[in-house]
Structure 1
Amino acid sequence: MMFTNIEITEFSDLEFSLYNFIVTHPEKVIYMRIRDLANETHVSPTSILRFCKKLGYDGFTEFKVQLKMYMNQTENLSFIHSTTSLTEYLERTMQHDYNQRISTISQSIAAAQTIIFIGSGTSGILAEYGSRYFSALKKFSLHINDPYFPMYTSSLENSVAIVLSVSGETESIINIANRAKEEGTKIISITNYPDCTLAKLSDYNLSYFVSTEYRETFNLTTQIPVIHLLESLAKETYKYINT
């Protein structure tokens, strides 16, 4: 991001008027002289210089250079094709004994009385999907997509939490998983990497090994592997329930 949340919260009313003009007219600002911007925003050149220095730039020229670089970076952003990500996932998972691990984890899920899916953001949406998919296959499940939800599992006997996180390092998710484990809940995590904190504290972990993608602060890593793993676990669990 060109402006951080911390910087924005510290803007004065005058600085907000500059900020609003810059973010809505960046293509004009990069070619403006400081006096041109002052006339457009009804702010003095001195105030613009103070604004730039507050953001860590030596002056208006350096600020414009950084703004132009940011615009070019955004315009030239490229993404990994979904087919490439899927191929990457399949090739890497074939190097691991996934079928046996899914079978072992599914037996544990089948034996549990309560299943709770946990995730936030995109992982929260998939937690809801996983809960619905398992419930449709006769294994009633709940989902929590608020990582700050006051969850206490000590009253639940033989419970399993299926925790979803791309990085496996989200503090709020790690906290809720750790609390559930301390209260006797078995933790099954689905993460991108097997050496993350969440994977290490889990009783079982499934990792999908795909290239991570970010746009600004947003994690755009494909979630196709997660859907595949959730559906595989659900179908395998259904098999054990009905044997």
Structure 2
Amino acid sequence: MFTSEQISSYNELELSLYNYISQNMEKVAYMRIRELADETHVSTATIMRFCRKNQCEGFSEFKVKLKMLISQKGKLTKQELKSPHHAVYEFFERSQSPELEEKIQTAAKLIAKASSVIFIGIGSSGIMGEYGARFFSNLGICSVYIKDPHYPVHTRMQKNSVTIALSTRGENPYVLPYLQRIKQEKNKIVAITNNRQSTMAKISDVSIPYYVKEEYYESTNITTQVPVAFLLEWLGREVFKEMVNTELEQ
């Protein structure tokens, strides 16, 4: 209900109706259609057209769905935030597994051979990408971060680069097309994601999952990013070791 596609289809009158309803949901849920028409200065025909655009046969069905939406919002608002300790403790126990260490080592060898590292992520993952790029740069590893997947990256920058993609679910519709372009250009991808079965994990050369329980508040993903910061620092240190060992061998 009230998806971005639906909202974009509204005309001027329907948009004013949507603005009134979104600000007075509890009130509208118990109004008659004539009362809403009087309040919003539109015709009942406009309201019926608005209901159909929101996949409702009529105003009665619209009010039922509106009450369901109010109920869902109420549950989300009342939910308590859980302590992050349990999830973080479990992750650090798993971080000592040989499987995860092997993935870190494989990714480190891949990155150490690259001329540059490109971090990409959106939202909280974008912030972690910025942190990762700064941490790698502090270690002398040429790194940049991209929060906007449409940002133009010069071909020379991408040449012999490794992209480190960050996403909790691994299905971000903005990041995936960028990674697909990277794949077509035969550059390497390292994915750090919470979902091993995600599209991002499957198209990457190395996937590093961290397996913590996803958590949401009011439809916003608030899953802890502590494992991501730990993995980025661990990976950065291993890349640095690989680079030093290569220099010594030469």
Question: Normalised by the shorter chain, which TM-score bucket?
Answer: 0.7 to 0.9
Tell me, what secondary structure is at the counterpart of 1:198?
helix
Unmatched tracts of structure 2, length 5 or more = 246-250
Aligned to 1:235: 237
Percent pairwise identity: 45
Q: Distance in 1 between matches of 2:233 and 2:205?
A: 20
1:137 aligns with 2:150: no
Q: How does 1:146-157 map to 2 (within 5 A)?
A: 146-153=148-155
Q: CA deviation at 1:130?
A: 0.6
* Cα 1:114–1:74 shift into 2, 3 Å: same
1:40 aligns with 2:39: yes
* Cα 1:43–1:205 shift into 2, 3 Å: same
Cα contact 2:166–2:192 (8 A) shared by 1:
yes
Cα contact 2:120–2:126 (8 A) shared by 1:
yes
Cα contact 2:14–2:50 (8 A) shared by 1:
yes
After TM superposition, the score normalised by the length of structure 2 is 0.83
Q: Deviations over 1:71-125 (max 9, x none)?
A: 1211211355423432443455555622232233223323332111122333222
Unmatched tracts of structure 1, length 5 or more = none
Aligned to 2:25: 26
Q: CA deviation at 1:230?
A: 0.6
* Cα 1:50–1:104 shift into 2, 3 Å: closer
C-alpha RMSD of matched pairs (Å): 2.6
Q: CA deviation at 1:39?
A: 1.9
After TM superposition, the score normalised by the length of structure 1 is 0.85
Tell me, what secondary structure is at the counterpart of 1:97?
helix
Q: Which amino acid aligns with 1:141?
A: S
Aligned to 2:9: 10
Aligned to 2:127: 125
* Cα 1:101–1:10 shift into 2, 3 Å: closer
Q: Which amino acid aligns with 2:225?
A: Q
User: How many residue pairs are counted as aligned between the two chains?
Assistant: 242
Cα contact 1:153–1:183 (8 A) shared by 2:
no
Runs (4+) of structure 1 moved beyond 4 Å? 91-96, 152-157, 214-218
Q: CA deviation at 1:207?
A: 0.7
